[in-house]
Structure 1
């Protein structure tokens, strides 16, 4: 039985890097689904992820699988691991405070699956004590928070907050899936 990974894509410039992650996970034989926030669709079109994952991409809160089963509940139940990449400061703040106002947040609130978060944002946001408190809160709830990288950011600044290389994220996902099923 194929292990199911749902990739949540939020509205940061690093959203395009999630396409490489989805593509590689599918090549490795995982069943991959994608949920995008509406802001993420400003950076990458859902068709990109649909083509790579071979599954319908969910954006709208009211999309349904069929008339009896809402999509967020179905994915919440079948997913072995959720990977949020990139996770913006906005997304992390909402998640840490239980705000479920889009399909991704709602699905995460409904799941019992493991959740891995790959943050990406400007250095000032990354170092903000409110964001750091939200990350600590999520870690206390059992979420896996990946480190960020340092380097040149999309805004031109140099510093921390850069998304980890997509290959490292894939390695972490595979390691996590292996620990869930051993």
Structure 2
């Protein structure tokens, strides 16, 4: 049986390093993995980490000389989009249809399941704007994993 094609989309934040382990786990389970990193994610992790694990180029720009419409190609290719870690910024963009980077554009073009793994400061996660944005995504059929409780990188607990 053929395993699903998963597009792992990584947002900026300290939890971005965990996406490297996630990509490795999924690859070892036989899934075909492609990765998209936001500009902010590239400040926390290297695209080379993901390319080495998945054996595919990592995408981070709408303006790719090799593929003039990467947001359409990647949206069509993926059976499942996993946004991990998902930032408050990207959640808000998706909830409001903003398409100003590769990730937010491909989310508008993708018609199959989307799984969000929010990772942010507890006050950001519990902010009414974030709560409302998550509800919008859920109403559209997106799936949200609740964050784990523990000590955060910012020294808050949540």
What's the counterpart of residue 142 of structure 1? 141
Once residues 13 and 75 of structure 1 are traced to their aligned partners in structure 2, the CA distance between those partners, rounded to angstroms, is 25
Q: Deviations for 1:21-80, whole angstroms, at most 9, x for unmatched residues? A: 1001111111100000000000001000111111000001111544xx622211111210
More off after superposition, 149-158 vs 1-10: 1-10
Give the 3 Å change call, closer, same or farther, for CA 140–82 of structure 1 in structure 2: same
| Secondary structure of 2:149 counterpart | strand
Deviation of the 1:2 alpha carbon: 4.1
Deviation of the 1:89 alpha carbon: 0.7
Structure with more of its chain in strand, by fraction: 1
Q: Deviations for 1:83-127, whole angstroms, at most 9, x for unmatched residues? A: 000001111111100001100111111111210000001011011
Once residues 9 and 63 of structure 1 are traced to their aligned partners in structure 2, the CA distance between those partners, rounded to angstroms, is 18
- TM-score, normalised to structure 2's length? 0.96
Q: Which consecutive residues of structure 2, in runs of 5 or more, have no partner in the other structure?
A: none
| Secondary structure of 1:150 counterpart | coil
TM alignment of 1:95-174, pairs within 5 A: 95-159=94-158
* Residues 84 and 118, structure 1, Cα contact 8 Å, conserved in 2: yes
Once residues 64 and 148 of structure 1 are traced to their aligned partners in structure 2, the CA distance between those partners, rounded to angstroms, is 37
Q: Deviations for 1:126-167, whole angstroms, at most 9, x for unmatched residues? A: 1101100000010000000111111100001111xxxxxxxx
* Residues 33 and 57, structure 1, Cα contact 8 Å, conserved in 2: yes
Aligned residues: 157
* Residues 64 and 70, structure 1, Cα contact 8 Å, conserved in 2: no
Alpha-carbon RMSD: 1.1
TM alignment of 1:12-161, pairs within 5 A: 12-66=13-67, 70-159=69-158
Deviation of the 1:20 alpha carbon: 0.5
Give the 3 Å change call, closer, same or farther, for CA 15–139 of structure 1 in structure 2: same
Once residues 98 and 146 of structure 1 are traced to their aligned partners in structure 2, the CA distance between those partners, rounded to angstroms, is 21
Structure with more of its chain in helix, by fraction: 1
- TM-score, normalised to structure 1's length? 0.83
